[in-house]
Structure 1
Amino acid sequence: MATSIKLDEDLKDRVHHIAGLQHRSPHAVMREAIAQYVEREEARERFRQEALASWQHFKETGRHLNGDEVRAWLDSWGTEDEKSVPECHD
């Protein structure tokens, strides 16, 4: 699908400059930039949806872990005393 985009002169010049430094076309630089932006925003939205679902689950059940419990578990990763996933509690 062909799409056109209007860039102000400053941004257009910056894209062309980066493209020249990388021996790539401005088109390739813009496609990569848009792909990275979309991936980042999709990941951000997935995180937001997961957080909302977790919050809803907490409101319904009251089951949770606190920050200290999670940090202790994560800090144990890769050590001789690696802990298993902590159990949620009320």
Structure 2
Amino acid sequence: MARSIQLDDDLNDRIQHIAGAQHRTPDAIVRDAIAQYAEREEARERFGQEALDSWQHYEETGLHLTGKEVRAWLDTWGTDHEGTPPDCHK
């Protein structure tokens, strides 16, 4: 579906400049910007839903890790002694 948007002169000039510097069309710059925005917003929605799902799981089971446990595990990342994730507990 085609969309039409109105840009103020300043933003239009900025997009024209970027397009010229990258040897691309202004439409390609705008399409890429909108696609990146949509991807960010979809990721934000997924993150929010995962947080709600995690909270619901915690409320149902009581299983959790403390911040200290998670930090201790993360501190092993990238070392010769990289650990496995700790087990959740009540």
TM superposition score category, shorter chain reference: over 0.9
Match in the other structure for 1:23? 23
User: Take 1:4 and 1:59, find their aligned partners in 2: how far apart are those partners?
Assistant: 46
Alpha-carbon distance, 1:19 to partner: 0.7
Alpha-carbon distance, 1:31 to partner: 0.4
- The residue matched to 1:19 in structure 2 has which SS? helix
- How is 1:1-90 mapped onto 2 (pairs within 5 angstroms)? 1-90=1-90
Runs (4+) off by over 2 Å? none
TM-score scaled to structure 1, two decimals? 0.93
Alpha-carbon distance, 1:35 to partner: 0.5
Alpha-carbon distance, 1:15 to partner: 0.8
User: Take 1:68 and 1:46, find their aligned partners in 2: how far apart are those partners?
Assistant: 26
Gaps of 5+ in 1: none
Gaps of 5+ in 2: none
Alpha-carbon distance, 1:78 to partner: 2.4
The amino acid that maps onto 1:58 is: Y
Deviations 1:34-67 (A, max 9, x none): 0100011111110100001001111111110111
Report the count of equivalent residues: 90
TM-score scaled to structure 2, two decimals? 0.93
User: Take 2:2 and 2:47, find their aligned partners in 1: how far apart are those partners?
Assistant: 31
Aligned-residue CA RMSD (Å): 1.0
